[in-house]
Structure 1
Amino acid sequence: MVESRLTGPVRVVGVGLLGTSIALGLRARGVDVILSDASPTNVSIAVDYGAGRGATDGDEPQLVVVCVPPDVTASVIVRELSAYPRAVVTDVASVKKPILDAVIAAGGDVTRYVGSHPLAGREKGGPMSGRADLFLGRPWVVAGHAGISYQTAAAVDDLILDLGATLVEMTAEEHDSSVALVSHAPQVISTLMARRLAGAPDAAVNLAGQGLRDVTRIAASDPALWVQILGANATPTAEVLRGVRDDLDEVIQALDASSFGSTSPSAEALPSSTWRRTMVEMLAGGNTGVARIPGKHGQDRRYASIVVMVDDTPGELARLLTEMGEIGVNLEDLRLEHSPGAQIGLAEIAVLPEAVERLTAALADRGWRIAG
């Protein structure tokens, strides 16, 4: 067991996905974790899951981590600061400035509070979705402020490092504008694209491939939670979406007026070079932007991948993974693509770059078809 930087008990308030994942990660380092939630059932599930123990009257936590919905985060922070006057308090809400302002307005002791936000998650919530490794290598923002004490900053830094995350320091304002760009606006865009599918013909939806799945994956997120998040970070998110709207208007205008045939009665056909230039600029700009994202499709760039064709029969995927183990290559990540009715699926296997050539040759020798 790896020794923890944190020395005292850690109280986790809210045992959904993030709270349970934090608790599991700390328990893996031997930290005494105290679990609290408005739902006794959630606490029982998290305790059974090995995430910690239930709260008792004599608890004296070193650190309190508030993992509750954004609309109640500030009030819970103030309550925990009052209940545990010797503890440092942080939270993991996805907006920071409104919460800090509310804590100050309520008279909370901000010398013992600093907001934070791990940029990690899954589409599904609840304690059973928790993973001890959820934060490994992921950015975790600490939104410092003028009144914070050294002890407060150190305790939250230790939490982040204990969970294997990468500490990023920002102001609350910088954080909120950043997540509007990389998280909140993308959620809206994904949702709106998925909404187009709701009334689409089955014949069209059945043609969907991995591209559409990638674009709409996060559209499966909890609407109630996202209403709170978007409401709390409305202005920065709306600013990003206005920029997207401007780009969409330009693309639509170019398509409507393309020399291949206008779709708008009022549009005048543009010379081929004009509308093509617009489209090339937009598409190339997307190439430039996506190249800045750490890791292809969110994967770590330290990994390389191969695509293996897998027959749609029981046990074939399990056989592939078993044979990878026999070859002696560790699976770092796995992505599956399979369309309804197809006789094969595609397994995109991420491994260390130095293992790609050996794995490709060994799988081919065993009869596997390598697609790329």
Structure 2
Amino acid sequence: MTTAVPRTAVIVGCGVTGTSVALALTAGGVEVTLVDRDPEAVTEAAALGSGTPWTAAGPPADLVVVATPPSEVVDALHTAQARGLGHVYTDTAGTKEIVSAEAELRGCDLKGYVPGHPLAGPDAPGRAGADATRFAGRPWVLCPYETTPAWALETVAALVELCGAVRLDMTPDAHDRAVAAVLHLPYVVAAVLAANLAGAGPELLRLAGDELSSAVAAAGADPVLGSDLLAHNAGPVADAVDRTVAGLRAVARTLHAGDDTVPVELGLLLELGARGHRALAEEAPRPGTAGRDLPGDR
């Protein structure tokens, strides 16, 4: 384990992600304090054994983790730094390019800030689903600035290790395009599919099987948090949607044409889909850990 292991930490935001980080750090022997604009959230998180409420009397922590939705990260980071909550800062937002750029424009202290994103699942309402092992074996992306000092990066790397995650360094742009393809696009597609079922009668819904339930599972994420995340990754998500819509339109044209070649043309598309499915099956985490990264992530 790295020599920069934090002894004290402040968690800003007591949703599922923040509380899970706090639980993992507490289990690793770190002294954790909790901050949230909702006092009840702090009380509930503390009752789970994730830490104690933050007070101004304590010294700056070794590490501050901002676990809020993307639209709130820079405000929370700026406030935390102005109050001197800690020495090293990171966040858990599911988008990185806008957050990183806004932090610089806002005048945040970038020397001690390492943008991050643990890919471990959505924030459900309240603290439901918070777990110290939530990040075990899962990717945790870090997007350090070119000027990030080694000591700050080492401290955040120690956080990743304490949480049992696998560190992966990326540029903010590469991160956002990657998550647009593998997380945000599936969420949008699931929402569109599920929207077609909103007015369906029980007779139709009773015909649905596990395949449809799995396909629309992502649509169950908090729509407020989901729209916040998608808005912060608008360009890459729009590009991914355009590519998918183009493919669907090609299928529709083929079916409308009704030519004798329809089975062959569709067969080529379905074979390409089968190849993609096999590739994902070979690389994805084992059942029980895959498919949990939805736009509710904070």
TM-score, normalisation: structure 2: 0.91
Corresponding residue of 2:294: none
- In percent, how many aligned pairs have the same letter? 31
Corresponding residue of 1:242: 242
Residue 41 of structure 2 is aligned to residue 18 of structure 1: no
Q: Structure 1: which 5+ residue stretches go unaligned?
A: 259-269, 304-331, 334-372
CA contact (8 A) 1:5 1:162 kept: no
Corresponding residue of 2:33: 34
Q: Give matches, 1:292-307, under 5 Å.
A: 292-293=279-280, 299-300=285-286
Corresponding residue of 2:164: 164
**Shift in alpha-carbon separation, 1:123–1:61, aligned structure 2, 3 A:** closer
Aligned-pair CA distance for 1:290: 2.1
- DSSP 3-state at the match of 1:137: coil
Aligned-pair CA distance for 1:178: 0.6
1-structure distance, mates of 2:40, 2:281 = 38
Aligned-pair CA distance for 1:256: 1.9
Corresponding residue of 1:216: 216
After superposition, give the CA deviation of every residue in 1:189-228 in whole Å (9 maximum; x if it has no partner). 0000000101123211111111001101111111111111
2-structure distance, mates of 1:295, 1:28 = 32
Aligned-pair CA distance for 1:240: 0.3
Residue 277 of structure 2 is aligned to residue 290 of structure 1: yes
CA contact (8 A) 2:17 2:123 kept: no
**Shift in alpha-carbon separation, 1:58–1:292, aligned structure 2, 3 A:** farther
Corresponding residue of 2:293: none
2-structure distance, mates of 1:76, 1:93 = 12
2-structure distance, mates of 1:16, 1:85 = 19
- DSSP 3-state at the match of 1:167: strand
Q: Give matches, 1:334-349, under 5 Å.
A: none
Aligned-pair CA distance for 1:123: 6.4
- DSSP 3-state at the match of 2:115: strand
Q: How many residues align?
A: 288
CA contact (8 A) 2:119 2:139 kept: yes
**Shift in alpha-carbon separation, 1:47–1:172, aligned structure 2, 3 A:** same
Moved over 6 A (4+): 2-5
- DSSP 3-state at the match of 2:132: coil
Q: Structure 2: which 5+ residue stretches go unaligned?
A: 290-298
- The CA RMSD measured in Å over matched residues stands at 2.0
CA contact (8 A) 1:64 1:87 kept: yes
Counterpart amino acid of residue 231 in structure 2: G
Q: Give matches, 1:1-372, under 5 Å.
A: 6-59=5-58, 60-84=60-84, 87-122=87-122, 124-258=124-258, 270-271=259-260, 274-293=261-280, 299-300=285-286
CA contact (8 A) 2:96 2:173 kept: yes
2-structure distance, mates of 1:278, 1:123 = 41
Counterpart amino acid of residue 284 in structure 1: E
Counterpart amino acid of residue 179 in structure 1: V
Counterpart amino acid of residue 39 in structure 2: P
CA contact (8 A) 2:10 2:86 kept: no
Greater RCO, CA 8 A, separation 6+: 2
